[in-house]
Amino acid sequence: GATLLSAELVAKRLGILRDLVPSVKSIAMLVNPTRPGVDAQKAQVQVGAQTLGLSLQILEASRAAEFEAAFKTASQYGALIIAPDSFFLTERTRIADLATRYRIVTMYELREYAEVGGLISYGPRAADLYRQGGTLTAQVLMGKKPADLPVLQPTKFELVINLKTAKILGLNISPSLLGIADELID
């Protein structure tokens, strides 16, 4: 199998959000309550938020019709984290548009969000994960037992910032954060 290390990267994403908006005191996290492991996701973010002295509000959406209300509520907080979820990824354009419309500083897991107008993402490259999946599949097809294969983890993570969205939100991104970004989207 392969893992995204989603829960393990929560602290790093929260730290980046703090660097982006140092004055933030409260954040919201959008989760899909039907996703397996959602309770562990929420617990990881809660621990990370407490460590940074942030209050956390969990918002839920399991259908696209629930996004509008979730983003309206999220606009009351200093920032928003979108939990890793395949449903959210398929709705990334709508999610990024709502975040911009409600003027919410929003952190995402994958670059695909920043590419469609999301503000900032930090996580593994999806293409690398697909390659790892292909490697595992090839080994199974060559006769190896799945139980004998290692769980692969991403080894490269990228920080992507959409400067156009930052400008729309009126954010001045620090030179230090710009300096560590792997990609800046204009």
Query: In whole angstroms, how far apart are CA 23 and each of 46, 79, 134?
Result: 19, 10, 43
Q: What is the pLDDT of residues 60-111, one digit of tens each?
A: 999 999 999 999 999 999 999 999 899 999 999 999 999 999 999 999 999 9
Residue with tokens 């390659």: 131
CA neighbor of 174 nearest in space, from 11, 6, 16: 16
Packing angle of the helix pair 67-74, 92-101 (nearest 10 deg)? 40
Q: How far apart are CA 43 and CA 58, in angstroms?
A: 10
Asked if 106 and 80 touch (Cβ cutoff 8 Å), the reply is yes
pLDDT band at 168 (very low <50, low <70, confident <90, very high): very high
pLDDT at 141: 85
- pTM of structure: 0.84
Whether 20 contacts 173, CB under 8 Å:
yes
